[in-house]
Amino acid sequence: MIQSTCGSWLKASLKGWVWCGLCFWLAMVHAQDYPNKTVRFITASTGSPQDVVGRIFGQKVAENWGQGVYIESKPGAGALISMQTAAKSAPDGYTVLISSAALTVTPYLYRNIGLDVEKDLIPLGLLATTPNILVTSPSTGFKSIKDVVEKAKSGAKIQYGSPGFGTTPQLSAEYLFKVLASQPVVHVPYKGIPPVVAAALSGEVEIASISLPPAVQLIKSGKLIGLAVTSGKRNSALPDVPTIAETGFPGFEDDSWVGAWVPAGTPAVVAKRLKDELEKAAQSNEVKQLLRNVGFEASPLFGEPFSHMVKKELNKWEKVVKETDTKVE
């Protein structure tokens, strides 16, 4: 009886080891053969920071691989649609989510987002950073954030637009006006960056809070005025635009950032191959210059350090959402 039991146990153990060995071998074969078809980079709306950075990295990775990379935009719900699409995709290395700080804000905005960002997605690395920026049309007469706050104190109704409810540009502006300046400024949400920029240019809203890259050329051409950036230091693309702290409202910094993830379940060897390729691209002088040209800074941070950063961002935005009472039911 003992011999029979031991024999059964031994057979089961051998089967388990054989199965594990087979899975490992298949993963290694898959990694060696990877990629053998086009890789999809999923981003939010066209022209968003994720989209701009995704295209720059996609081009470089495709060039290094000799294999196609295409960008698929999935706009909607403050980048939530892109996150859901990626999380539900096959974990085979052929879908990469290029997302932003929105990934760390969204869990606190909605009652149920349909995924767990810490369990359903594997973080690969930080690709680039850029501040958000508050801009206005020259026709408003505003030259600084203090001008806006003083006008609000006088009882004037001032509206600011953002790319959408719950986006980091909206939360940054909300925190500035509601918490730091203690002034009621009305939020007008738009569906993405192009319409809110158009609203600022036309005077439909007095202020627009957006990511910096779309504003660079408009400010340089004099069509918009940069009031303040949300980062801790000035941006090299717009060195004359002060930080929020420099305008007299210290206490909050927000670098908008873009990173990369793959669906949970992606083989570790494949995820590492992707991480290594993205890191290689991030360190190239060509990519650094392309990012700098549109207001981003290359900020390579990969593996565990990036995972820790994402956790810190989750904690930060949970606090901001609570203090600004921003919630989507």
Q: What is the dihedral of CA 270, 274, 275, 278, to 10 degrees?
A: 170
Note whether 242 and 290 are same-domain residues: no
CATH code for the domain of 65: 3.40.190.150
CATH code for the domain of 240: 3.40.190.10
The pLDDT of residue 19: 45
Residue type, 133: I
Separation CA 59–CA 13 (nearest Å): 47
Structural domain boundaries enclosing 212? 131-247
The pLDDT of residue 191: 82
**Does some domain include residue 138?**
yes
Q: 297 with 291: CB under 8 angstroms?
A: yes
List the pLDDT tens digit at each of the 329 positions of the chain.
444 444 554 454 545 554 444 444 444 445 568 989 999 999 987 778 889 999 999 999 999 998 899 999 888 777 889 999 999 999 999 999 999 988 999 899 888 889 999 999 999 999 999 999 999 999 999 999 999 999 999 999 999 999 888 888 998 999 999 889 998 899 999 988 889 999 999 999 999 999 898 899 999 999 999 999 999 899 888 999 999 999 999 888 888 899 999 999 999 999 999 999 999 999 999 999 999 888 898 888 999 999 999 999 999 889 888 888 876 65
**Does some domain include residue 162?**
yes
Pairing outcome for strands 255-263 and 95-100:
antiparallel
The pLDDT of residue 327: 67
**Does some domain include residue 30?**
no
The pLDDT of residue 286: 96
Alpha carbon distance, N-terminus to C-terminus of the chain: 62
Note whether 55 and 158 are same-domain residues: no
Separation CA 96–CA 260 (nearest Å): 7
In terms of pTM, does the model score above 0.85?
A: no
- Tell me the two tokens of residue 287: 């990519």
